[in-house]
Each structure stands twice: as C-alpha cells, then as structure tokens.
Amino acid sequence: MHSLRLFVKQKRKELRLTQEDLALNAGVGLRFVRDLEQGKKTLRMDKVNDILALFGKEVGVIDKIQE
C-alpha cells in the first residue's frame, strides 16, 4: 500500500491537483483521498480504481516482495 499512496500523491502533485480536486474528478470523497494518501490499510478497491483511472492505471496482482 505504501507505493500506491506515494504514486497517487506524486501524480496528483504533478497535475497540480489539490486533494479536493482529485476527489471531485474521481467521484470519491475528500476523506477517501486523504485516507489513501496517508496509507490506510483498508480501502474500497472500486474507489481506488476510480482514482487510478484518472492516471490510466488500475489495481492489479503482482508478486509479493520477500523481505
């Protein structure tokens, strides 16, 4: 989840969007954007995909990195 939150925050800033702007454009609440960018561990995947769709991305399956 850490890299997801950083990706969204970086892309939002690159596009010079506020958290409010991102929420409005994605059709999600401001609280959801804040929770995502703060790394909340339980988020609705459909809403995450609504945000990622603005950047031409979606959630997918990747191999877990072993530590």
Q: 33-53: per-residue pLDDT in tens?
A: 999 999 999 999 999 999 999
Rounded to two decimals, the pTM is 0.86
Which residue is listed with tokens 């958290």?
A: 19
Q: What is the mean pLDDT of the chain?
A: 94
Contact 28, 47 (CB under 8 A): yes
Report the pLDDT value the prediction gives residue 2, as an integer from 0 to 100.
Answer: 61
How deeply is 24 buried, as exposed, middle or buried, from its count of CB atoms within 10 A (0-12, 13-18, 19+)?
Answer: middle
Q: Which domains does the chain have, with CATH numbers?
A: 4-54 (1.10.260.40)
Q: What is the pLDDT of residues 8-31, one digit of tens each?
A: 999 999 999 999 999 999 999 999
